[in-house]
Homo-oligomer: A and B are copies of this chain.
Amino acid sequence: MAAIEPHVEANCKLDGAFRLEAGGELPSPEIRYAIYGEPNHRRDNVILVCHALSGSARVADWWPELFPAVFDTSRYCVIGANLIGSCYGSTGPSSLNPVTGTTYGPDFPLVSIRDMVHSQARLLDHLGIERLHTVVGGSIGGMQALQWAVDFPQRVERAIAIGAAPLSAMGLALNHLQRLAIQLDPAWRGGRYSAGEGPDAGLGLARGIAMLSYKSAELLAQRFARRPNRNGEDPYRSYSERFDVAGYLDHQGEKFIARFDANSYIVLSKAMDAFDLARGYESDREALRRIRARVLLVGISSDWLFPPEDVRDLAQRIRAAGRHGDYAELKSSHGHDGFLADMDQLAPFLTAALWRPAANPVPITRLPVARTANL
Contact = CB atoms under 8 A, between A and B. Distances in A.
A23 interface: yes
Contacts of A186: 186
A317 to B, nearest CB: 15
Contacts of A169: 217, 220-221, 223-226, 243-245
A176 B217 contact: no
Contacts of A221: 168-170
How many copies are assembled? Answer: 2
**A: interface residue count bin:** 35 or more
A256 to B, nearest CB: 14
Contacts of A324: none
A209 B177 CA distance: 7
Contacts of A173: 208, 212, 220, 245-246, 249
Nearest to A242: B176
Given A22-B236, A22-B237, A169-B221, A176 B266 contact: no
Interface stretch (A47-55, A128-136, A269-277): A269-277
Interface in A155-193: 166-170, 172-174, 176-177, 180-181, 184-186
Contacts of A279: 236
Interface of A: 22-23, 106, 110, 112, 166-170, 172-174, 176-177, 180-181, 184-186, 201-202, 205, 208-209, 212, 217, 220-221, 223-226, 235-239, 242-246, 249, 266, 270, 273-274, 276, 279, 304, 307
